[in-house]
Every structure is written in C-alpha cells, then in structure tokens.
Amino acid sequence: MIRAVWQALVGGPLRAAPGRTLLAMLAIASGIALGYSVHLLNASADTEFRRAALQLSGEAEMLIRGPRQGFDEALYPQIARLDGIAIASPVLEFQASRSSGEPSLKIIGVDALRARELQPMLLAGQTLPAADLFDPDNIILSAVAARTYGVAAGDRLDFRAGTALVTLRVAAVLPDGSHRLPLGIMDIAAAQWRFGLTGVLHRIDIRFDRDAGPAALRKSIGALLPEGVQLLTPEAENLRSAALTRAYRTNLDMLALIALFTGAFLVYSTQTLAMLRRRNQVALLRALGAPQGTVLGVLLVEGALIGAVGAAIGITGGLVLAQQLLAAVGTDLGAGYFRNLQAALHIEPATMLFFMALGTLFALMGTLAPAIEIAGMPPARGLRAGDPDEQVNAFPLLAGITAIGAAALLLWIAPSTGLPIHGYAAIALLLAGATLAFPPVAIRLLKLARLRLPLPHALGLSRLLATPRLAAIGMSSILVSFSLVVSMLLMIHSFRTSLDTWLEQVLPADIYVRAAAGGDTAYLSAAEQQRIARIPDLARIEFLRSRSLLLLPGRPPVTLIARDPGIGGFAAALPLVGTPAPLPENGPPAVWISELVADVLALRPGDPVRLALGAQPQTHIVGGIWRDYARQNGAVVMDLAEYRRLTGDRQINDLAAWLAPGVSVNEASGRIRAATDDGSALEISTTAELRKLSLEIFDRSFAITWALQAAALGIGLLGVWLAFNAQALARRREFGMLRHLGMTRREISAMLAGEGALGAAIGAACGLFSGVIIGLILVRVINRQSFHWSMDLAIPWLPLAALFAGIVFCAAMAASAGAALATRQEMTRAVREDW
C-alpha cells in the first residue's frame, strides 16, 4: 500500500514534472548555502582568534592585565613573591609603530626564562641561543609578520618609539603556522629599553601552586592591584579579544538565519501548491482505501527528503561560497575587523549535521500544514473536478495577529544591553505574522473596495478575489522578500546618512595629523608641539592625546581622548545626543562619554563617574553623551589641559589643524613634518580623505548585505513564478474558455500579468509596511544593542519607489511566464479536460 501511495503521490509527479521538486530543493539549498557559508566564516574567524589568544596566554592560570599604557613593574616582584604563586611571567605587549608608514606590529616583550614555563609554544618549540634571545638589537618574527613586511632572518626593521628611530635585526622567523598573527617577540629588557617603556609592564601571567587556594590567592592578588589593573582568567582574556567582533558576528549569523527563513517560506509555498495540485490523486487514493496516516506519512517523508537533499546541496554550495568569500574578502566579509588574521576554514561535522537537520526541519515544517489539510480532506470533496474550493480561513489571520502581538511583547521586554536576540526573534515573529495575516486582510479590503477595471484585468481581479488562498501564496513570497529588502535598505541608509553627518561634525578642521599610521609607541613630544604651534601657516591647532583606560568591567578598555575643547566648548564640538548637563562653576571637571559607556554604566548627563587617570582616581561629572561611530569599545572625552594637570603627561598622538587663508595642504604638511623629529612617520590626511576612507570602509562592511538582499528578492520572484505556474495548470479550462470567447493569447497573457502585478503590488505594499517596522527594529533595537550607537532614521524614498515598481514589473513578467505553459496548449483540449 505504501509503495502504491508513494508511486501515485511522489514517483509519478516527480517523473512528470521534476522541475518543481528541484525548485523546492533549490530554495532550501540557497537558504542553507547562505546560512552555512556565513556561519563557516564566522566560526573560522572565531577559532583563529581563540587560538591566537590561547597561544599567547599559554598555560597561565590567571593573568593580570593593565591598560594600554601599562602599569608599574614594581607590581611584578610583589606578585611573584606571594605565597601560592608558582610562576609569574612579566610581559610587555604593545603595537609598535613602523617609521615607514607600514602597518604597525604587535610586539611581545617576554622574559624567556619565565615565559618558557607558561608559554612553551611562544617560540614554537624553537631553541635559540641565549645570546640571540637577550640581544637588545634582536627581534623574532612570526611567519605572517615576516611576510607582511617582506623580510627574512638577518634583515633589519625600523620602528618608531616616541620621536626616536629604533632599528632591530630579525634574529629568526618562526615556522609558518606557529603564530597566525603578525607578531614580534623580544627580550623584555630590550623592549623596555628600545621602546622607551622602562619601568612598565602590560601583563603578568601567573601559575598557581598546586596546593594554593585560588580564592584566597585571588583576594591577596586583588589587594595588590592598582586601579585600572585587572586579574583575569585566560578564558576571560579570550572573550575580551572576541568581544570586539561578537556583536558583528552574531548579526551576521542572524542575517544568515533570515536567509534560511526565506528559503523555508519558499518550501512552504511550493509544497502548498504541490499539495493543491495533488488533491485529486490523494482523494482517489483515499477513496480506494489508503489510510489517512499512510498518505500523510508519504507526503511528510517526501518533504523531509526534499529538505535533506536540498540541505546537502546547500552545504556543498555553502562550502564553496565560503571558500570564495574567504579568498575574496576575508573572514569578516570585508568589514575590516580581522585584517591581520590568517584564517583557514574550520569545518566541523557537527555543524554540518546541524545545518542538514535545519534544512530538513524547515522543509518538513513547510510540508506539515498543507499535508495535514490535504490528507484530512473528505475524498468526495477532493474528487470533485475544478479548482480547490477555497474559503479564507480564519486560522492564518488569528495566528498572524498572535505572532505580531508576540513580536511587540518581545520588543517591550528586550534588555538594553547584550546580544540582540530579542530583536531578531521579534523580526522573525513579525515576518511570520505579516505573512499569515496581511494577505487575507488585503484581499478583504480589496473586496470591499469594489475596483472597476477594464475587461481583461477585471477578470484577473475577480479571479484573485475568488481564490484568495492561491493569491496569498504569491503575495506572501513578495511580502517576505520585500520586507527584508526594505528593512535592510532602511537600516543601511539611516546608518550611512547618520555616519556622513557625524563625520562632518567630528572632522571640522582642514587637516588631521597622526604621530604614526598605527601603534601605541609613536607620539609628539612637548617640544615638537611647541614648534608646530609656531607655524604661521596654521590658523588654529587642536592637540589630542588618546590612550586606553580600563573603565567597563569585563570589557576591553575604552579610549580616553583628551583634547582642546575648541571654540564653542565640547557641547558644540561633539556630536551630542540629548541635552548636555548644566555644569556647576566649581564642580568636578566634566567628561563627555560615548553612548556605549553611557549604556554599559547606565550614566546620564550630570552623573558622577570615577576615572583612574593620575595617581589617585578622581570623580568627574558626565557633561554629556555623544555619538561615536569610530571606537567600538567606547570613548571618554576630556579637556586636554585638565588631563595634563591630572597626569603630567605632555605627549600627544594627533592634532587637527585649520589652515590660514591661501595656504595649501601640501605647504602646511611640509611645515608640520619639518617641525617634528621624524617627519616621515607622520600620517597627514585631509578631511575629505578621511571621510572618503570612512565611507569606503562602511560600504565594504555592508557589501555582504547586498548579496542577502539579492537572494531575498530572487526567492520572492521565484515564489510568484511558482504560484502562477501552479495555477496555470488548474486554470487550463478557464484559459480555453476565454480563448473560445475570442480573447487572444496576448490578452490572456496581459490578464495574467495584471493579476501578477496586482498581487505583487499588494504583497509589496504589505512588505513595505512590515519592512519599515523591521527596519525600525534594526535601527532602534538591534544596532543600539549590538554596537551601542544610535542613528537617525532616514528613509530612502527614491530607491524604495524604484524597487517597488521593479518588483511589480518583475512579478507581472514572472506571472505571465509562469502561466505561459498553460496558455500555449490547445484550446479544444483545454476545454474538454475534466480531471
């Protein structure tokens, strides 16, 4: 019996029209391929990050870490002498600026005698002569670093430390693969001396004695740590390095899931249509005695098989896609987060199985509702010839409204920090709800409207209203895809517009000068600042000192920016959100915090905040909150004069300059370079260059979303085509009759196109509505939660209108193409047909 049912329901149709089954498979495959490839890239980047961090922290049980400018080395003997500490390994860790404008290099200064216990793989198991290890002229490079700079063992490398030039000899290049990041390793004494870091450490790695009580030990270590220095586990350290990209990666994963969701929806529509097409066969089988359970089982197995095969194709495609993307844009899909990472794909069988199961599950879910309906239909009704007798079912409407309500509830209870899981769940629910609820509502509204159209289109309209179920399928696929595209367009457009405005606000000067292209070791001394200030070509100069500051518990250090407030004060110079606090005359000095700092510490303008800058932590007052798109770990701005008073630090990293009238950028640059000790190391950019660069980076990091949008649109149009293709078969008699009554094939085609366009227009209108809501969720909830930056809503009306017109046109074409098969058939045969 099962064989017979299988043969009748699956085998026969498959042989007759393999294309439809294939399409359903491809729908699943495309969703899985996108989802799997994005996940693969993410996981690979993550694994690399963890490996790199693990290799550096090695076998340490705990580590002490200070801010970027380090802490006093006097802490090291105190820690090392504590009872219960087996080994303490002091580490210097900094980005060394190159003098030639090449990318900076991360240098680790270690005491090899200590590090060998805790980081046995630091030197990749190589034993180097002690003389090489301790020579203050030597640096050991990872293979990636040697490649980056194009040097080999024995070559020389120039770095910039403050204003001085440091030339080091490459003593050895570690074997390929031992460190995946560009890295230089030096003796700790050599690094302190050569880079002007005498007396400073950045990290102390620790191993405990076997019998030491970790809790008590942690307490006694904690008592020794100055403010701004933390005791961490290596796991926390790994998380720290991954925290930067976690939000970005989660967002990508979620986008991939949405692609998968669209794929699943297409399976639902193809399966529904397939079921409708097969209602007569099913009814016949049931009349002949096939049990309902067998029929249902066969239909579900078929759905699962389609899912499994589709998923298998998708996983293969995803692998290929991931490899291509890795080669073309890197593991961060071009966002520039992991520029230095040398990654290979990490393929795990478990994840492969997961995506396989996901594809199968989605296909099953798409099959379940129509299969239950058709298997449960009384045979007598199913055997009746003609169109499926449809009613607008109240169920989808109710389910849809429930889903939309649940989405609203989720947004209501969404927390303000952490990963935006709530936001994404709300989007999924909203999409599902809109898909279920909007088309029935739209059709009812259309019925009420009683439109009067010229003849062929009037026919199309009445057809649409008479078969709301079929019409809804075409509409829904447009709705789903269009809302995704609209929401992404809205988000990207809002972000880009906000970024552009922001750039204009934060870059008011003519030229910007950085002490070096990258790294922590380059700065301009007080003498150099004085010489620059005396240059007559510069109408005005603002100096800026930036350093890192541990402020947010469990998060990477924030950037402290001490700068001249400018003419109107910070309230005018910074892109503030909300109103600044009124500052009391003799109150504590004000600091201006970025949105991230405000979110994490729950601070508002006027609140006090303690910063550990000088010898003693000081209380400051939050002057205002500003929008910062540049520093993802948060930033705090304060007056440079105040900073200098607190710390005595006179160095600066950056300066902004306004040119005197009639002075060219080149002239001014030349003067500034001449006023510094190593002018060639300075990086001087014009405002226009910086803006262009920032927007380019922005566009690159959103490039992947274009692929997702294109995929969504393609899937939507495929849905329209499928819907009409399926209807065409059922409507052969109608077409025959129309031809009989004298309509030309062209007119029928036009009627179908009009029908498709109307359906698509309704779908797209609904999609526009839900898309704008989803876009709002992306802007207000998801971005705010992942990156802690706000943006102003900007709706790209023109592109949306063009897209709307485009999709309606494409849907019209898809509808007439989908039905072309049926209209080509012979008229008399079509009229006679009674199946």
Partner 1 sequence: MHFPRDHGSHPEFRIEWWYITGWLHAKDQDDCGFQVTFFRVRPRVPADNPSRFNPEHIIIAHAALADRQLGKLRHLQRAARQGFGLAGSDTGNTRVWVDRWQLLRDGQQYRCRISERDMALNLVLDTLQPPLLQGVAGYSRKGPQGGSASHYYSLPHLRVSGEIRIDRTARTVAGEAWLDHEWSSSLLETDAEGWDWFGINLADGGALMAFRMRNRRGGTLWAGGSWRDAGGAVSNFKPDDIRFIPLRHWQSPLTGAKYPVSFEVLAGPFRVRLEPLMDDQENDTRATTGAVYWEGAVRARSSGHEIGRGYLELTGYLRPLQI
Closest approach, Cβ 652 to partner 1, in A, equals 25
Residue of the chain from 114, 160, 463, 514 that contacts partner 1 (CB under 8 A): 114
Closest CA to 543 of 419, 640, 660, 633: 640
Q: Is 662 left (phi over 0), alpha (psi -120 to 50) or beta?
A: left
Q: Which stretch binds partner 1 (CB under 8 A): 109-117, 214-222, 302-310, 515-523?
A: 109-117
Neighbours of 426 (CB within 10 A): 26
Q: How many residues bind partner 1 (CB under 8 A)?
A: 29
How far apart are alpha carbons 288 and 294 in whole angstroms? Answer: 13
Give the one residue of 116, 531, 631, 780 binding partner 1; rule: CB under 8 A. 116
Give the DSSP H/E element, type plus range, for residue 659. strand 654-659
Binding segment (CB under 8 A) for partner 1, from list 37-45, 112-120, 725-733, 822-830: 112-120
Residues of the chain by 3-state class (helix, strand, coil), percent to 5: 60, 15, 25
Chain mean position to CA 80: 42
Q: Is 76 in the site for partner 1 (CB under 8 A)?
A: yes
How far apart are alpha carbons 265 and 269 in whole angstroms?
6
84 binds partner 1 (CB under 8 A): no
Q: Which of 536, 443, 481, 518 is nearest to 681 (CA)?
A: 518
Query: What's the distance, CA 83 to chain centroid?
Result: 46
Told to check if 202 binds partner 1 by CB under 8 A, we report no
Q: Does 193 bind partner 1 (CB under 8 A)?
A: yes
Residue from 2, 130, 455, 630 touching partner 1 (CB under 8 A): that is: 130
Instruction: Report in angstroms how near the CB of residue 213 gets to partner 1 at its nearest.
Output: 15
47 vs 78, beta carbon nearer partner 1: 78
Residue 99, classed as helix, strand or coil, is coil
- Span from 83-91, 438-446, 536-544, 772-780 in contact with partner 1 (CB under 8 A): 83-91
Crossing angle of helices 18-57 and 703-730, in 10° steps, is 160
Q: Does 273 bind partner 1 (CB under 8 A)?
A: no
Q: The tokens of 762 are what?
A: 């309704």
Nearest partner of 565 among 619, 642, 496, judged by Cα: 642
Identity of the amino acid at 785: Q
801: exposed, middle or buried (Cβ count in 10 Å: 0-12, 13-18, 19+): exposed
Residue 228 corresponds to which amino acid?
G
543, 563 contact by CB (below 8 A): yes
Shortest CB 614 distance to partner 1, Å? 23
Using rule CB under 8 A, residue 224 touches partner 1 = no
**Is 124 a residue that touches partner 1 (CB under 8 A)?**
no
- For the segment 132-191, give every residue that binds partner 1 (CB under 8 A): 134-136, 187-190
Amino acid identity at 51: R
Residues of this chain, 625-664, that bind partner 1 according to CB under 8 A? none
Task: Restricting to residues 524-553, name those near partner 1 by CB under 8 A.
Answer: none
The two tokens of residue 298 are 């066969």
Instruction: Give me the least distance between CB of 796 and partner 1, in Å please.
Output: 58
Q: Does 72 bind partner 1 (CB under 8 A)?
A: no
Stretch near partner 1 under the rule CB under 8 A, chosen from 130-138, 161-169, 241-249, 349-357: 130-138
CB of 549 to partner 1, least distance (A): 26
Residue of 80, 301, 352, 408 interacting with partner 1 (CB under 8 A): 80
Identify which of residues 53 and 174 has a Cβ nearer to partner 1 in the complex: 174
Q: Is 699 in the site for partner 1 (CB under 8 A)?
A: no
What backbone phi and psi angles, to 5 degrees, belong to 144?
-65, -40
Phi, psi of 67 (to 5 degrees): -70, 180
Beta carbon nearer to partner 1, 27 or 201 = 201
**210 forms part of the interface with partner 1 (CB under 8 A):** yes
Nearer to partner 1, 27 or 75 (CB): 75
For the bound state, the minimum distance from the C-beta of residue 191 to partner 1, rounded and expressed in Å, comes to 8
- Interaction site with partner 1 (CB under 8 A): 73, 76-77, 80-81, 86-87, 90, 111, 113-114, 116, 127, 129-131, 134-136, 187-190, 192-193, 198-199, 209-210
